[in-house]
């Protein structure tokens, strides 16, 4: 019989490495999309181009503040997973799923206040590309949190599920941090140039 544990969390778990690899790949996609935005900006005499208006700040700022606020809940859920607190992770994943739903609603309103259509010009296409890219990650995270919450509420929680919750928390942090440079590019760069 082996003295190795039945399950592990963090770097000792192969799924953790898969999650890190996924975040590296997706982070590269974000970087490439931001490079496209910056390239188009460098080729334009004005940014946004004449006649275009930068997106409204109110909804995006509310979204951004909300994302950073959600990190408190996310860190709490991660701590509950590390402590193998079944009741805590059940409540926490449900709250994270509800938060993700709220963020998608705010994002929907935010998209309505971009002040440009995706097909209007290169500026509009670049803005919408970045917004849709981040929204797809937000939607993925909502789906993962909702499915995980449903599973945790309907099944016995094995030690592996605590590791899954912790991995999901780390991915949420990635989604939050990935938003920061996109927010700066879309909402502030046009106001500085």
pLDDT in tens, 117-160: 999 899 999 999 999 999 999 999 999 999 999 999 999 998 88
Q: Is the pLDDT of residue 7 over 70?
A: no
pTM of the model: 0.91
What does the mean pLDDT of the chain come to?
92
Listed by start position, the domains of the chain span 13-192
DSSP structural state of residue 12: G
Average pLDDT score over residue span 99-127: 95
- The CATH number for 13-192, chosen from 1.10.10.10, 3.40.640.10, 3.30.70.890, 1.20.120.80, is 1.20.120.80
Residue 63 confidence (pLDDT): 97
Residue 6 confidence (pLDDT): 63
* Residues 170/91/68/11 CA torsion (nearest 10 deg): -10
């Amino acid at each position: 019989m082996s003295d190795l544990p039945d399950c592990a969390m963090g770097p000792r778990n192969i799924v953790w490495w898969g999650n890190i690899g996924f975040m590296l790949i997706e982070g590269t996609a974000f970087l490439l999309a931001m490079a496209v935005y910056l390239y188009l900006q460098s080729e334009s005499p004005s940014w946004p181009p004449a006649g275009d208006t930068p997106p409204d700040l109110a909804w995006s700022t509310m979204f951004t503040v909300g994302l950073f606020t959600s990190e408190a809940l996310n860190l709490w859920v991660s701590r509950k997973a590390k402590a193998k607190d079944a009741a805590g992770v059940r409540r926490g994943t449900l709250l994270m799923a509800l938060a993700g739903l709220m963020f998608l609603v705010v994002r929907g309103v935010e998209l309505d206040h971009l002040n440009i259509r995706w097909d209007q010009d290169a500026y509009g296409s670049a803005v919408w590309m970045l917004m849709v890219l981040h929204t797809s990650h937000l939607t993925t995270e909502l789906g993962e949190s909702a499915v995980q919450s449903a599973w945790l509420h309907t099944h016995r929680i094995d030690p592996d599920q605590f590791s899954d919750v912790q991995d999901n928390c780390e991915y949420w942090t990635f989604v939050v941090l990935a938003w920061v440079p996109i927010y700066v590019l879309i909402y502030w760069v046009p106001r500085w140039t």
